[in-house]
Amino acid sequence: MSITNIKSEFPIFKQKINGKPLVYLDSANSSQKPKVVIDRMSNFYETEFSNVGRSVHSLAVKATNRFEDSRDKVKNYLNAKHREEIIFTKGATEAINLIASSFGEKFINNGDEILTTELEHHSNYVPWHFLRKKKGAIIKFAPMNDSGEVEIDEIKKLITNKTKIIAITHISNVTGAIMPLKKIIDLAKEKKIPVLVDGTQGAPHLKLDMQDLGCDFYAISCHKMYGPNGLGILYAKKRWLDELPPYQGGGGMIDEVMKDGITYASTPTKFEAGTMQTAEVVAFAEAIKFIENLGIENIEEHENKILEYGIEKLKKNNSIKIIGNPSNRGSVMSFTIKGIHPHDIATILDDDGVAIRAGHHCCQILHDKLGISATARASIGVYNTKEDIDVLCKAIDNCKKVFQV
């Protein structure tokens, strides 16, 4: 399987949008799905489906084995130390909420500090805001500089003896800034502060090694990694999972239930209450195989070439302002066009079959810092080509003609 003709692996590219070939530049929002993932999910429902961890009949045993095989696949892909460190959630949002709730319940009190940044997606701010309201915690924001990145010195300045956790993104979904995670995590270790990483934008594009990275928690959104919707991964060091209280209560996560008390299952089951997304979990193993077959290093190299080409082409258009100029950028090109609202840009581009996103991208604090309400965003996936960028630029020129700018 070669990246050169990888679009043929994605059925959605067979169709046309408004009579034009689909140019999909919205992978930071959600990636398209290769046929192997779609087929695996369909095949599971057709031949192997049952609820997991409940019954002892043949289908239930087979489904449970497939489910747990997927946990092992994720564990190996992330180079986690223990399979019990992989928790299946309904998304990266729930993974972060789980830690904010469980960690916050046990370890954060009135006046304690949570350190985050101005780059964060709402999913890595709102859960901590809930904790602020509930417990009287304080949230500190490391500022974004003019290049659209956060310098490690700004994080250093904000760490105090009341800092209980650092919650940071891996890659900004607006400026594309790749955070110097290893340096931040090493700094946190010196201070014995746990680190949660929102890996939603990092996981689809960068090689991940939890032993090398050393973070305590890492949240993944599977639908951005060519996998199914409605599924996320929480990697968490086992020592934390053993200590943290459950996030939700229900079937599956208990050991014994009595009138005068309840004991909980061991991790990871303790954090997987209720009926799990069995087909999605099984299909995600196929998404990982897809990435492994291509090679994450090859994917990164390919995407960087497309990204560099895109930035270069957009810079040549005098009407375009590119948001951010980070020293290390990944997968994202956000921009504005003078005289045209981003939502109008996205609407007109769609007429030419070009799919981008417009809005504040769930990063209102960042946009407020920039003094704008919205941006247009083109984001790269493994299936994108330089020809896609050429079509994007031509569609932008057509948009400018429509608005006479």
Beta-ladder partners of 218: 197, 235
The percentage of residues in the chain with a pLDDT greater than 70, rounded to a whole number, is: 100
Question: Which helix (H) or strand (E) segment is 322 a member of?
Answer: strand 320-322
> Which of 215, 222, 362, 363 is an active site residue?
362
Beta-carbon contacts of residue 312 (< 8 Å; ≥ 6 apart): none
Work out the average pLDDT over 288-302. 97
What is the predicted pLDDT for the residue at 53? Answer: 84
Residue 54 pLDDT > 90, yes or no?
no
Say whether pTM exceeds 0.85: yes
CATH of domain 38-292: 3.40.640.10
> Nearest 5 degrees, angle CA 303-CA 307-CA 312?
150
The DSSP code for 245 is P
- pLDDT tier at 1, thresholds 50, 70, 90: low
* Rg of the chain over all Cα atoms, to the nearest angstrom: 22
What phi and psi, each to the nearest 5 degrees, are found at residue 51? -70, 155
The DSSP code for 178 is B
pLDDT, tens digit, 9 for 90 and up, residues 119-158: 999 999 999 999 999 999 999 999 999 999 999 999 999 9
Residue 5 pLDDT > 80, yes or no?
yes
Work out the average pLDDT over 288-296. 98
What is the predicted pLDDT for the residue at 129? Answer: 98
Is residue 235 within 8 Å of residue 80, measured between CB atoms? yes
The DSSP code for 385 is -
CA distance 299 to 380: 11
Is residue 111 within 8 Å of residue 102, measured between CB atoms? no
CA distance 176 to 185: 20
**Cβ atoms within 10 Å of 405's Cβ, excluding its own:** 11
Is residue 230 within 8 Å of residue 90, measured between CB atoms? yes
On the question of a cis peptide bond just before residue 228, with omega within 30 degrees of 0, the verdict is no
- Identify whether 362 is a catalytic site residue: yes
Give span(s): CATH 3.90.1150.10, the chain: 3-27+296-403
Residue 281 pLDDT > 70, yes or no?
yes
CATH assignment of 3-27+296-403, among 3.40.50.1980, 3.20.20.450, 3.40.50.300, 3.90.1150.10: 3.90.1150.10
Give span(s): CATH 3.40.640.10, the chain: 38-292
In sequence order, what E strands does 187-277 have?
A: 195-198, 217-221, 232-236, 254-258, 261-264
Work out the average pLDDT over 368-373. 97
Is residue 270 within 8 Å of residue 32, measured between CB atoms? no
pLDDT, tens digit, 9 for 90 and up, residues 55-106: 999 999 999 999 999 999 999 999 999 999 999 999 999 999 999 999 999 9
What is the predicted pLDDT for the residue at 2? Answer: 77
Question: Which helix (H) or strand (E) segment is 354 a member of?
Answer: strand 354-355
